[in-house]
Each structure stands twice: as C-alpha cells, then as structure tokens.
Amino acid sequence: MKVSFKTDIGCTRSQNQDAVFVSEKPVGPLENLFIVADGMGGHNAGDYASKKAIDLIFSSIREDEEDSGISAIQRGITIANREIFIEASQNQEKSGMGTTVVVATIENGMLEVANVGDSRLYVLSKGDLIQVTRDHSVIEEMVRKGEVSREMAQKHPKRNLITRAVGAEEEVRIDLFDVDLSDVDAVLMCTDGLTTMVEDAKIAEIMSLGMTVEHKVAALIKEANAGGGKDNITVLMIESMFDEV
C-alpha cells in the first residue's frame, strides 16, 4: 500500500482548521485507519474541533472490543460528536464549533467509509473519478432538487454551508458506504479546499499521471492554490491497495 497526505493553509486563511490522520498499522479491530476533518468555529475552535474529533475517533476505535469494521468507525464518530457537542455547549469560546469527518479503512479488498459534512472520498477507476461520499451541504440539496446545476454549484455563494457536522447537534447522522476495490486504482480523501478550487476532471487527470503518489498529492495542493487557495486544503491518497495481500 502506498499512502501520501498533506495539509496546506491555502492562500487566504490565517489558520489551518483541517486535520488528517493515517495509520497503515492496525488500530483496534481495524487493519488500518484514515481520517480527514475540516473544522469550523471562531478563534481556535475549528482547529480544535477537527483535531479533537480525530483524537476521539482514534481512541474509541483503538479501545473497541465489541465492534468491528464500519461499526467501530460509526461508534467512534458518535462518541466524538457527543464529546465535542458537550464541550461546545459548556465553553463560550468554543460555542458553535464542529467539524466534518470522512473516515475509511481497507480490509479484504473492500473499502469501508463513513462521512459527516462535505469532506469527500473518491475512487479512481480506469481513469474515471467517482465520488463515493455525498456532501451534507445546502448546495448539494439544491443540486438534488434541480435548483442549480452541478457546474453552477462549483461557484455558488452557498457552496460552503454544510447541513451536518460532528459536534453541531446532540445526535449525529452518519452516512456509510462500502466499495469493492478490485477495479479501483486509487482512493482520494480531501477537504473542500481542494474540490471548490479544482474541477473533478482535473483531479482525475493529476491522479492518473505517471508519477509517485507523493508528487500527485503535492500537485493537487499546488493546483488548488493556483486556483485561488481560498480555503485550507487537505489531500490524502492511497494507491497499490493490494501490494501486501
């Protein structure tokens, strides 16, 4: 398995509220664990929320003796949501904080995914980039209702408004997905700092280039910054998923 990741502050923000976690070694019942989070909240609250969510999810999964696979991930996100919500309710400086999360694990040729918010997971298959997760955002709801086109959504002023976040409410709804990796060449996890700056076709083009995964990640970050870098950018890419099987 070849894994590379990078987080970048972008060109306009004063603080990086994204966070990323990678473990190619087992964590609790999981063979591996990958997490990308994009925090929200004033002052340092967004930065705190994204890192806190990752810490809580990791700790929950590491200590989980009852669940396995996606159930362990789901439990970890639920615990993170509760803890962050309570802390935000009790601390005025952290009021309103929350974070997106997209969490994945690979085992026996299957990719298991959970997400809350608009950070995304894609797979690249035979040159085609396929979005696995579904954005929990105002603009995504508008696209599904036919109120705006997918092309218009890319530049819409409401594109950054999300409808779900870890810690935003007492209960959290988590979307779950599984993907057979037999025809998948690469997995991409990222925050919206990439997807609002770079079209999917360009992302697929860069991911298909004949260079190392580290260079592809760097190229995606560079492309997002070249497009304006209006948000923090986090990219995590996985290739050669079956090298150790």
CA–CA gap between residue 88 and residue 102 (Å, rounded): 21
140 within 8 A of 159, measured Cβ to Cβ: no
What residue ranges of the chain have pLDDT lower than 50? 244-245
How far apart CA 34 and CA 115 sit, in angstroms, is: 12
Question: What are the residues whose beta carbons fall under 8 Å from the beta carbon of 181, sequence distance 6 or more?
Answer: 106, 109, 110, 111, 123, 187, 241, 242
What pLDDT is attached to residue 162?
83
Contact criterion met (CB below 8 Å) for 49 and 30: no
Pairing of strands 110-116, 18-23: unpaired
Of residues 105, 114, 109, 112, the one with CA closest to residue 134: 114
pLDDT of residue 245: 38
- pLDDT score for 146: 59
**pLDDT 10s digits, 49-98:** 999 999 999 999 999 998 889 999 999 999 999 999 999 999 988 999 99
Q: What is the pLDDT of residue 159?
A: 60
Contact of 153 with 196, CB cutoff 8 Å? no
Give the neighbor-by-neighbor strand order of the sheet with 175-180.
Answer: 18-23, 33-40, 98-107, 110-116, 175-180
Q: Number of C-alpha atoms within 13 angstroms, CB side, residue 95?
A: 4
79 SS3 class: helix
Nearest of 54, 173, 56, 195 to residue 119 by alpha carbon: 195
170 exposure class (CB count in 10 Å sphere: 0-12, 13-18, 19+): exposed
Q: Quote the pLDDT of residue 140.
A: 62
pLDDT at 116: 97
The whole-model pTM stands at 0.92
| Tokens found for residue 212 | 């190392």
Which residue(s) pair with 40 in the sheet? 98
Q: 198-230 in b/e burial notation, b at 16+ Cβ within 10 A? A: bebeebbebbeeeeebeebbbbbbebbbeeebb
